[in-house]
Amino acid sequence: MGLLRSLGRSLINLFAVTGRIGVFTGNGVFHCFSPPFFPRLVGQQMIEIGFYSLPVVGLTAIFTGMVLALQSFSGFGFAGEATIANVVVWGITRELGPVLAGLMVAGRIGAAMAAEIGTMRVTEQIDALTTLSTNPYKYLVAPRLIAAVAMLPLLVLVADIIGVMGGFIVSIYDFGFNPLTYLRSTWDNLEFVGFISGIVKAAVFGFIIALMGTYHGYYSKGGSQGVGQATTNAVVSASILLLLFNFIITAIFFAT
């Protein structure tokens, strides 16, 4: 009886949370498209998400590209430039670029959003917005959603380029490959659908990261401990959803 009851309670909780996220998402998206807009805030968020994430995304990408080249060289032996260039460009554009950039940004931006909005919640700043006739969804949620969806594809584009460059550096300086041949193989193996799937993933990941960051911040409660909890939840849930949607989008694009 006790087991059944607690099972039922967690199931009801699950439905309640799912419903709340659903309503939050609907509100957030609606306010992205209904005036008034806050272009200044969107711009600030774009700089915060896009520009200031560049170092972290760039470093992740270059080491990933380098390690891909090393691993495929040791795995395939002297299979030649073509194979290694292929593995690097294929792996980076399809999977590792978007997923690793997404996870890094989830840690950086998702946490920052949850902490900032969570603090605003517990210090009544969100209530203050309402009493100043400003909708918190429009002022806080919509600019972050817009900026993240716009900037993640750009970050992933940068990650793709730097990642491929990482593989190039290792191949040229470590394995002594011919740079021109390597670049030509890279170009030949770069496929449009793979690249586009990565960019689509990036936009979806951006949405997930901003949604989880703002959602957990918005509903945080109970002072500094609650804000800490919200930050953790934002990063964990964004990372898991990101990997889940990575699988779904890959299946949509490539499962035939």
Partner 1 sequence: MTSTPPHAKIETRDLQKSFGGKHVLRGVNLTIKQGESLAVIGASGTGKSVLIKNIIGLMHPDSGSVLIDGEDVTALTGSDREQVTRKFGMLFQGAALFDSLPVWENVAFGLIQVQRMARGDAREQAVAAMVQVGLEPDIAERYPAELSGGMQKRVGLARAIATKPEIMFFDEPTTGLDPIMGSVIDNLIIRSVRELGATALSITHDMASARRIADTIAMIYDGIIIWHGPVDAIDNSGSDVVDQFIHGRSHGPIDMLVAS
How many other CB atoms are found less than 10 A from the CB of residue 56? Answer: 15
Which residues, at least 6 apart from 94, have a Cβ–Cβ distance to it below 8 Å? 194, 197, 198, 250
CA distances from 158 to 4, 85, 124, 255 (A): 51, 18, 39, 27
Q: What angle do CA 120, 100, 71 make, to 5 degrees?
A: 160
Q: 18 vs 123, which CB is nearer to partner 1? A: 123
Rg of the chain over all Cα atoms, to the nearest angstrom: 21
Three-class DSSP labels, 8-68: HHHHHHHHHHHHHHHHHHHHHHHHHHCCCCCHHHHHHHHHHHHHCCHHHHHHHHHHHHHHH
Q: 93 vs 214, which CB is nearer to partner 1? A: 214
Residue 132 Cβ vs partner 1, minimum distance, rounded to whole Å: 5
Q: 143 vs 194, which CB is nearer to partner 1? A: 143
Q: 121 vs 216, which CB is nearer to partner 1? A: 121
Which residues of this protein are in contact with partner 1, per CB under 8 A? 36, 116, 119-120, 123-125, 127-128, 130-135, 139
Q: 87 vs 112, which CB is nearer to partner 1? A: 112
Q: 5 vs 40, which CB is nearer to partner 1? A: 40
Answer whether 229's CB lies under 8 Å from 111's CB.
Answer: no
Residue 113 Cβ vs partner 1, minimum distance, rounded to whole Å: 12
Answer whether 83's CB lies under 8 Å from 76's CB.
Answer: yes
Q: 34 vs 178, which CB is nearer to partner 1? A: 34
How many other CB atoms are found less than 10 A from the CB of residue 8? Answer: 10
Residue 182 Cβ vs partner 1, minimum distance, rounded to whole Å: 47
Residue 134 Cβ vs partner 1, minimum distance, rounded to whole Å: 5
Residue 18 Cβ vs partner 1, minimum distance, rounded to whole Å: 21
Residue 223 Cβ vs partner 1, minimum distance, rounded to whole Å: 12
Burial of 197 from C-beta contacts in 10 A (0-12 / 13-18 / 19+): buried
How is residue 107 annotated by DSSP?
Answer: I
How is residue 132 annotated by DSSP?
Answer: T
Residue 123 Cβ vs partner 1, minimum distance, rounded to whole Å: 6
